[in-house]
Amino acid sequence: MPKMLSDGQVKLVWVPTIANVSAPKVATELTVAGALDLSCLVTAANYSLGNGEDATIDEPALCATNASTLPGRTSYSASMQFFRWTTTPEDTAWTTFTSKNIPGYLVQRIGKPFSTAFAVGDQLQVYQVVTGTPNLLSPEANSAIKFSLTFHVQEKVDERAVAVA
């Protein structure tokens, strides 16, 4: 059985609003005006989106004979670097993410070519986020101009969402 490869198989989209993170709507949420396909605007290096570690709750009962623990709250990370483009119409990430506290959703689909449109039944990861402050990175020789951005993940998250009509 072949393994799922990542090259060209990750679609990442910024969506202004989603009513139900477990069932985003293809026609009225994922592909509407204002949705921005970030798939080719983000560098693969330093890309981080998903859950991290669970906090540990260390409260064994008085009668316990071992140091048992329970999983606590889950931490999520969402940070990436974006390419800058030479013309304003192409520089959509820079002109969209202009400041901190811009609310929206990051929607990721893995396992299909990024150029394939969203379809009903697609398995997605959906993260409600607000932007941090965009950070223009210092230019380096033989490198594209970039900026970094950390997204702060909010309460609404579903890493096993399914796209609906």
- The domain locations on the chain are 10-52+73-162
E-state strands within the chain: 10-15, 36-37, 48-57, 70-83, 103-110, 123-131, 135-136, 146-162
103-133 residue pLDDT tens: 999 999 999 999 999 999 999 999 999 999 9
Instruction: Identify the residue whose tokens are 């490869």.
Output: 5
What are the CA-CA distances from residue 56 to residues 52, 77, 78, 121, 152 (Å)? Answer: 13, 18, 21, 34, 21
The model carries a pTM of 0.91
1-5, 32-36, 48-52, 125-129: lowest mean pLDDT where?
A: 1-5
Quote the tokens at residue 22: 């477990």
64-106 residue pLDDT tens: 888 888 899 999 999 999 999 999 999 999 999 999 999 999 9
